Amino acid sequence: MPNYYPIMLDVRNRPVLVIGGNPVAAEKAAALSASGAKVTVMNPTFCEELLDLAANSNTVTLRYKAYEPGDLKGAFVVVAATTYEPELSEQIWNEGQENGQLINIVDAPTRCNFIVPSILRRGQLTVSVSTEGASPGLAKRIRQKLEGFFPLAYTEYLYLATVARKYLREKGLSYAERDEFFGDFFSSDILDLLIEDDVVEALASIVRLLRRYRVDVSVSTIVRDMQEARRKNENSRRA
């Protein structure tokens, strides 16, 4: 039986506390900020990566102090990325448990109620790899191997899928028909064409595929709707 239930957590505009001033804390803060969280990083001193991150981000704030009981108040998520100190970790864990907060103490899986997988992103595609805390280093290497299976072209590929789904729903196709369409979409040459940077032929291919499902739409409409989908996605990340 698995020990963890995988979820995607919405942290946009949520207060998040990262405790620590080292490069690991910087990595955690950067990832949370990129997902829209309002991040406070707390430590007496900070590494160059954190100083640069705070200077170039309006969602990351540095708080120059050591942790004391009561400092977790108000945080939706707490990540402790300090050098492992059992007594300090226990204090943070106990306070977080009392507050009902999401707590992750780096390198101490027994003092976490969530763990962070190794993540591969391609636009709206997120691939997560987890060993349930057994070996984060191995999870990272598996994720790196997967990068070869998911090239950068997947970003545009997903936007094409987004607008195609919209057209199919507007046309009133059933779930089964839409599922069949995406089976054909997945097995088509569209992704290969995008990888080869042949956008013109990729767009022509999806036009032909959509027509097989009684959806008649022009290339210019697809391009316009892809731009709109991209804009909405970017606004959503900033919201």
pLDDT score for 230:
86
Read off the amino acid at residue 226.
M
How far is it, in rounded angstroms, from Cα 32 to Cα 54?
13
This prediction has a pTM of 0.78
* Furthest CA-CA distance within the chain: 65
Per-residue H/E/C for the chain: CCCCCCCCCCCCCCEEEEECCCHHHHHHHHHHHHCCCEEEEECCCCCHHHHHHHHCCCCEEEECCCCCCCCCCCCCEEEECCCCCHHHHHHHHHHHHHHCCEEEECCCHHHCCCCCCEEEEECCEEEEECCCCCCHHHHHHHHHHHCCCCCCCHHHHHHHHHHHHHHHHHCCCCHHHHHHHHHHHHHCCHHHHHHCCCHHHHHHHHHHHHHHCCCCCCHHHHHHHHHHHHHHHHHHHHC
First to last CA, the chain: 37
pLDDT score for 229:
87
Nearest by Cα to 225 from 184, 167, 183: 167
How far is it, in rounded angstroms, from Cα 54 to Cα 37?
13
- According to the CATH classification, is domain 15-116 in 3.40.50.2300? no
Nearest by Cα to 210 from 225, 231, 228: 225
How far is it, in rounded angstroms, from Cα 106 to Cα 109?
7
How far is it, in rounded angstroms, from Cα 124 to Cα 4?
23
pLDDT in tens, the chain (239 residues): 678 888 899 999 999 999 999 999 999 999 999 999 999 999 999 999 999 999 999 999 999 999 999 999 999 999 999 877 889 999 999 999 999 999 999 988 889 999 888 889 888 889 999 888 788 889 999 999 999 889 999 999 999 999 999 999 999 999 999 999 999 999 999 999 999 999 999 999 999 999 999 999 999 999 999 999 888 877 766 65
Cβ(101)–Cβ(74) under 8 Å? no
pLDDT score for 1:
64
How far is it, in rounded angstroms, from Cα 112 to Cα 78?
10
Buried (b) or exposed (e) across 28-41, using 16+ Cβ within 10 A?
bbbbbbebbbbbbb
